[in-house]
Amino acid sequence: MKRDGDKKSIWQVDIENYAPVNGWEKDKTYDVLIVGGGITGLTAALLLQKEGKKCILAEAHNLGFGTTGGSSAHLNTILDSTYDEIEKKFGKENARHVATDTREAMDLIEGLVNAHHIECDFAYRTAYLLANTEQESNSLEKIKEASEQAGIMVNEAASVPLPLPYTKALRFEFQAQFHPVKYLHGLARAFEENGGIILQNCHVNSVEYNQQFTADTSLGNIYSSTIVYATHIPPGLNILHMRCAPYRSYVAAFRLKSGAYPDALAYDMQDPYHYFRTHKIEGKDYLIVGGFDHKTGHNNNTEYIFTELEAYVRQYYDVDTADYKWSSQYYIPADGLPYIGLMPGEDNIYVATGFNGNGLILGSLAAKLICTLIFGKEHYGQSLYNPSRIKPIAGFSSFVKENADAVSMFISKRLSYDKISELAELAPGEAVVAEWEGYKVALYKDENGGIHALDPVCPHAKCIVTWNNAEKSWDCPCHGARYAPNGDLLTGPARHGLTQIKWEGIDGD
């Protein structure tokens, strides 16, 4: 199974790409086209299909290619936006609604696992939130009070079953974990058993409405009455790109000499925070630890972050080997809650984004809510998570100020091979954005010494991409679009890849 990065996540171990069985009727108009084969898309597809809608799901690569395949797969009713923050911005009643919704999302996942016998290691765990400073202790108190009031089961922890430092800790019952890709494949099978259609390697380029939607895709036109963008961030230029900031987070899976793997989930309160849990893969336990988050495209040595992560873990654990290391992307919403519902300005296009680091729960919640909305049923979530809501977004300008740097430097001239070679004085595997006669050129030297030259202007909002040396991708620092070394699109919101720069003189071209 492939992912949107060069590094292998633990969820890719011994998992083949999903092989769909049902055939696509090319002339048929489906009730709903779901775009995106992550947890949001597959859950929505299954729920809609179960309710009688004829659904087709289009995934640009393979199921799990996006963040679902690069997650750390904790399932939490406690969120990155804490209940005291939610209460402050949205009020007590809405904080209770969010807590209810996250609980129901957990129940939905457990229910689907049981109903469809999905072997994805779903298991309830206790989670611990650890404070280490007076300020963190004070925050912990507020989190405890607001979480209790919202209806979350929480206690002060008498002890913590992990060798991590803390001065005070909270204990949350009925949190959970699972294997996200096995879960996705189980959902996909259930969806197909209900008559659903899955198309992989099917990139939706654009959609047009004329009595019905015609989606222009890499496999041809798909016709539908409704569209659901379950693409983690919607494609194209949209107000939601100003309200969601893309971040990278780093995860590694360790074997321990002692064999003392924790049977709990844990998080500290640093900014960015670290997260811990255990998972058994092919009969072997692994300690999974993550953190070191930063805004996408804003770190020039992402590979080094894994060195820092391992050094951090070695302070507390007798690490034997670090077997898997990977990073992935998430989107922080401006006011703390996800955007779920009708795409701003559209009638029959639904969207779900801004999940922060909780998208397995919030993506499931989104799928359920979108299903409710498509059937025209009333739900408080329609306004609470409304993508068109206007909320104060103090401090959010810092996330998007890079828009101001947007520049267009499209190269119409041709470079010579000699010039390219001179600019690309790089070791194999290295890349640089070089300057040439006032223009910028993105250059990557592959492991065989071949040079790939690209226009570094992201086609989404015209920002200049930067090199991510860990995942071997060109990442846009503005809205998080990502590209393979050859310029192919890995992750939206761009609709297509970077332009290749041709050069002269190598083949008599």
Interacting residue ranges for ligand FAD, rule: CB under 6 A: 35-41, 58-61, 65-68, 70-74, 203-204, 230-232, 235, 249, 251, 290, 328-330, 355, 357-361, 363, 492
Interacting residues of 351 by C-beta distance below 8 A, sequence separation 6+: 228, 229, 234, 240, 339, 340, 341, 342, 343, 387
* Complex with ligand FAD: residue 39 or 411, whichever CB lies closer: 39
* Complex with ligand FAD: residue 9 or 466, whichever CB lies closer: 9
What is the rounded distance in angstroms from the CA atom of residue 427 to the CA atom of residue 284? 36
Instruction: Read off the DSSP letter of residue 419.
Output: H
Judge whether 252 and 320 are in contact, CB under 8 Å. no
Strand partners, 215: 207, 222
Q: How far is the CB of 13 from ligand FAD (least distance, A)?
A: 16
Which token pair is 78?
A: 């406690």
What is the rounded distance in angstroms from the CA atom of residue 193 to the CA atom of residue 85? 42
Q: How far is the CB of 121 from ligand FAD (least distance, A)?
A: 14
3-state secondary structure of 390: coil
Interacting residues of 384 by C-beta distance below 8 A, sequence separation 6+: 90, 94, 97, 98, 337
Q: How far is the CB of 252 from ligand FAD (least distance, A)?
A: 11
* Complex with ligand FAD: residue 361 or 420, whichever CB lies closer: 361
* Complex with ligand FAD: residue 251 or 411, whichever CB lies closer: 251
Q: How far is the CB of 349 from ligand FAD (least distance, A)?
A: 13
Q: How far is the CB of 81 from ligand FAD (least distance, A)?
A: 13
Q: How far is the CB of 414 from ligand FAD (least distance, A)?
A: 31
* Complex with ligand FAD: residue 295 or 445, whichever CB lies closer: 295
Looking up tokens 């930067």 gives 466
For 149, counting Cβ atoms within 10 Å of its Cβ (0-12 exposed, 13-18 middle, 19+ buried), the class is middle
- Within 229-298, where are the H helices? 240-243
Judge whether 483 and 500 are in contact, CB under 8 Å. no
Q: How far is the CB of 155 from ligand FAD (least distance, A)?
A: 22
- The count of C-alpha atoms lying within 13 angstroms of the C-alpha of 470, restricted to the half-sphere facing its C-beta, is 25
What is the rounded distance in angstroms from the CA atom of residue 110 to the CA atom of residue 280? 19
* Complex with ligand FAD: residue 39 or 131, whichever CB lies closer: 39
CB-nearest residue to ligand FAD: 359
Which token pair is 378?
A: 């009333």
Q: How far is the CB of 76 from ligand FAD (least distance, A)?
A: 6
* Complex with ligand FAD: residue 168 or 460, whichever CB lies closer: 460
Q: How far is the CB of 173 from ligand FAD (least distance, A)?
A: 17
What is the rounded distance in angstroms from the CA atom of residue 451 to the CA atom of residue 500? 11
Judge whether 374 and 224 are in contact, CB under 8 Å. no
* Complex with ligand FAD: residue 40 or 466, whichever CB lies closer: 40
* Complex with ligand FAD: residue 32 or 361, whichever CB lies closer: 361
